[in-house]
Amino acid sequence: MKKAKSAHPILVAVRTADRSARSILRKAASLAKMYDAPLRIVHVLAIPQGSLTRAGATIRRAAQADLDERTAQLEKLADLPELRDLQTSITVRCDYPIQDALVREVFESHARLLIVQSREPGRLARLFLSNIDWELIRNCPCPLWLSKSEKFDRRAPVLAAVDPLHSNAKPAMLDERIVEQAIEAAGGRPGKVMLCHAYELAQPVLIDTPEAYWFAMTEQSRQAYEQNIERAMGKLRSKQDIPAENVVVVSGDAAVQLPRLAKKQAASLVVMGAVSRRGLSRVFIGNTAERVLDKLGCDVLVVKPRGFKSPVERQTYRERVQRPRRQSVTAR
């Protein structure tokens, strides 16, 4: 295992520190080579198991034994043939919950990318992203690569899903960041990136009043709207030198159209933007990423706007539990 440089690493999270992690590590290795970055393998030990199985050991010693065991397992993984030409490091985090622990590792390592295995074994589990995935989508400050396939085919196109008129309340600069990340994921080749946008116009609605009438966008308004989309897509395309034939605009619900387009183009990756929402708006207003992600069969790269600040605390679970409590003084 080679010592990692100080460059921003690519983090790959392994759910289990055994050979079952080999496929995600193989993909992470290929991405680390493409990005020319060191690789850091991270495993979260959320709940020590040794305290339940090691008779006669104190909880502290059992937890340390678990930590030593997982560390030894990661060291073996780091010596796999696929990783030997890379600068690789490992870390086992004793922290909780898992998704917050991974975000804290991103903070500490200044990671440029976090790769996680999105699909669990089993037919039912593959139908839905886990809660860990969703929390990372909302809170991870660096680009988040959700791995859904065995391999990443660098020859296949990369889809950049943008919203040029910002109809979904995305920050104006997020589209540029999406395209930049797509080009980087395509090995710096703009010609392998497809700029995609799906839009849905309001359907005519009958208002039930004594003088019933229809609310609908006029033909003139529809044409003007589509022309605005075309101009915005053209501006975004030319800024990043993406070929004109690589621009695709389709009418319809993005949650339906983007998965169809990704399948039709045999895309290896879809790059999307996500805006974290808190409070009641998070419950009632879902962003496009959350509606599309479960339906995509290829890998997904989720990016945040520049300047995004994660709400995850930097202190670990143990540090917060052991934080001195303030004494309250009641005036008499």
How confident is the model over 227-259, as pLDDT tens digits? 999 999 999 999 999 999 999 999 988 889 999
- Report how far residue 67's alpha carbon sits from residue 90's, in angstroms, rounded to the nearest whole number: 12
How confident is the model over 171-183, as pLDDT tens digits? 668 999 999 999 9
pLDDT at 183: 97
pLDDT at 203: 59
Residues 6+ apart with CB under 8 A from 97: 46, 132, 135, 317
Q: In the structure encoding, which two tokens stand for residue 161, read together?
A: 């899903």
Lowest mean pLDDT among 74-88, 95-109, 127-141, 148-162: 127-141
DSSP letter, residue 2: B
pLDDT at 316 over 80: yes
What pTM value is reported for the model? 0.84
Report the mean per-residue pLDDT for the chain: 82
3-state secondary structure at position 127:
helix
User: Stretch 163-191: mean pLDDT, rounded?
Assistant: 87
pLDDT at 331 over 50: no
Domains plus CATH for the chain?
Answer: 1-141 (3.40.50.620), 151-308 (3.40.50.12370)
Scan for tokens 């396939």, then name that residue: 149
HEC secondary structure over 11-28: EEECCCCCHHHHHHHHHH
